[in-house]
Amino acid sequence: MKTQHSASLFSQACNVIPGGVNSPVRACKSVGCDPLFVTKAQGCTVTDADGNEFIDFVGSWGPMILGHGHPEVVKAIQEALPNGTSFGAPTALEVELAELVCESVPSIEKVRFVSSGTEATMSAVRLARGYTGRKVIIKFDGCYHGHADSFLVKAGSGVITLGIPGSPGVPEDIVKNTLSIPYNNIEILERTLRDASLDIACVIIEPVAGNMGVIVPEMAFLRRLRDLTAELRIVLIFDEVITGFRLALGGAQERFGILPDLTCLGKIIGGGLPVGAYGGKKEIMDMVAPDGPVYQAGTLSGNPLAMAAGLAMLKVVRQPGFYEKLEEKSTWFAEKLAEIGAKAPVSTVLNRIGSMMTCFFTDAPVTDFDSAMKADTQRYAQHFRNMLASGIWLAPSQFEAAFVSAAHEKPHLRLALDAAEESLAKLAAV
């Protein structure tokens, strides 16, 4: 495969951008190769700077549930563009999208738009602290909520001691109020939330984990989390930046029938343009400035082009049968993938819900951070490179999700299945 243009772009990029990329995972460090630079994408395929075409299972890390360049999204942006790109003033577009979000997501009565998932989660946590007057936030090992300081704690620190910084530059006194505990562990959850010495404002969770690879919570765990936070009047925040409008129109909370107090959204609601959002009960959301005292602001929040793209995308996913069709296609694909895995000479475990999935190179169930960390990342890296050579673009990390979009048709999925079968056979030979 020719990669000269990507290679020269990468060396140019490294002179002026840290790591040559604008988000670390794109550097492909954990899969032992240099990043390919994309020039265009259409439907379920992306094309790189050397003209190589790939069937895309990254989907820009989740937003591209319709596939790339969906005509309705493109048209909406083209129609909005001549009116201007940003006003710093309210527009009808953001009201329409806010109404659609409130209609679609069961627990959201009011919503505030921001420009990224990180902004959404950091704002939701600030709001929960402002609303409760308490300080401590509980998160779960392996869940990622963006790069705000208070989320960057070492996994497992909460069970042993208070938060330990997970990155240089994050002061201890910021993360001492963050505890990270194991996902899917009811006993530790109960003990932590009932610890009277903790001044807990909120619990934030990915209702399906997507950042340690895909891990579906045990329903008893998620139900217990909801019941305990309700009993103890702790704000429950669902980080649905990935699962929102992915697992159902109303996200994981609709699919599981478990409603949080606040929800964070991103990715899909921007139609590929920068949008995040946080929303929930009116009583809590009315604490947000300018109505309430909890401050949050953003120059490009509610950007008209992004609102137009998000509106177009949501109008398509709201069409009858959209999720049923995506579910049928994804189920067929995952079942075939599991059959291939079962016959393969290397051990793999496939975790999947809806159109998001992860193939772990391991031989035991993956139910939390510790079991996910047992995966063979070197084997995954080799698999990634095998698949790329076969024209299949997977996430360049074992600990991410693969996404099926509405643009993936059976022939594309069959090509991916054939490539996977070939790769797994090759892996056994090394």
Exactly one of 4, 15, 16, 23 binds ligand KE4 (CB under 6 A); that residue is 23
Q: Give 260's contacts (C-beta < 8 A, 6+ positions apart).
A: 107, 207, 226, 236, 237, 238, 253, 280
Residues 357-396: x/- map of binding to ligand KE4 (CB under 6 A)? ----------------------------------------
Please tell me whether residue 25 binds ligand KE4 under the rule CB under 6 A.
Answer: yes
Please tell me whether residue 266 binds ligand KE4 under the rule CB under 6 A.
Answer: yes
Please state, in angstroms and rounded to a whole number, the distance separating the CA atoms of residues 278 and 296: 11
- Residue closer to ligand KE4, measured from CB, 241 or 262: 241
The total of other beta-carbon atoms located within 10 Å of residue 69's CB is 14
- Residue closer to ligand KE4, measured from CB, 108 or 346: 108
- Residue closer to ligand KE4, measured from CB, 35 or 43: 35
Exactly one of 225, 241, 313, 404 binds ligand KE4 (CB under 6 A); that residue is 241
Please tell me whether residue 61 binds ligand KE4 under the rule CB under 6 A.
Answer: yes
Please tell me whether residue 157 binds ligand KE4 under the rule CB under 6 A.
Answer: no
Please state, in angstroms and rounded to a whole number, the distance separating the CA atoms of residues 254 and 104: 9
User: Are the C-beta atoms of residues 383 and 427 closer than 8 Å to each other?
Assistant: yes
Tokens for 308? 């137009």
Q: Which stretch binds ligand KE4 (CB under 6 A): 153-161, 237-245, 353-361, 416-424?
A: 237-245
Closest distance between ligand KE4 and the C-beta of residue 144, in Å?
Answer: 5
Q: Which residue is nearest to ligand KE4 (CB)?
A: 117
Residues 115-154 within binding reach of ligand KE4 (CB under 6 A): 116-118, 121, 144-146
Catalytic residue ranges: 144, 239, 267
Q: Which stretch binds ligand KE4 (CB under 6 A): 206-214, 248-256, 300-308, 351-359?
A: 206-214
Which phi and psi (to 5°) does residue 415 adopt? -60, -40
Please state, in angstroms and rounded to a whole number, the distance separating the CA atoms of residues 310 and 303: 10
User: Are the C-beta atoms of residues 41 and 58 closer than 8 Å to each other?
Assistant: no
Exactly one of 48, 206, 254, 261 binds ligand KE4 (CB under 6 A); that residue is 206
Strand order across the beta sheet in which 356-360 lies: 349-353, 356-360, 402-403
**Amino acid sitting at position 430:** V
Reference 216, options 247, 191, 194; nearest CA is 247
Closest distance between ligand KE4 and the C-beta of residue 23, in Å?
Answer: 3
Paired strand residues for 200: 136
Closest distance between ligand KE4 and the C-beta of residue 327, in Å?
Answer: 21
Tokens for 338? 């599991």
- Residue closer to ligand KE4, measured from CB, 309 or 340: 309
- Residue closer to ligand KE4, measured from CB, 15 or 23: 23
Closest distance between ligand KE4 and the C-beta of residue 82, in Å?
Answer: 28
Please state, in angstroms and rounded to a whole number, the distance separating the CA atoms of residues 214 and 398: 10
The total of other beta-carbon atoms located within 10 Å of residue 71's CB is 10
User: Cα–chain-centroid distance for residue 407?
Assistant: 19
Reference 312, options 45, 60, 61, 79; nearest CA is 79
Residues 268-307: x/- map of binding to ligand KE4 (CB under 6 A)? --------x-------------------------------
Closest distance between ligand KE4 and the C-beta of residue 248, in Å?
Answer: 16
- Residue closer to ligand KE4, measured from CB, 113 or 417: 113
Exactly one of 242, 258, 340, 394 binds ligand KE4 (CB under 6 A); that residue is 242
Exactly one of 239, 261, 368, 376 binds ligand KE4 (CB under 6 A); that residue is 239
Please state, in angstroms and rounded to a whole number, the distance separating the CA atoms of residues 48 and 291: 47
The total of other beta-carbon atoms located within 10 Å of residue 143's CB is 21
Please state, in angstroms and rounded to a whole number, the distance separating the CA atoms of residues 313 and 70: 8
- Residue closer to ligand KE4, measured from CB, 70 or 145: 145
State the DSSP string of 356-381: EEEEESSSS---SHHHHTTS-HHHHH
Exactly one of 210, 310, 354, 396 binds ligand KE4 (CB under 6 A); that residue is 210
What are the residues binding ligand KE4 (CB under 6 A)? 23, 25, 61, 116-118, 121, 144-146, 206, 210-211, 239, 241-242, 266, 276, 400
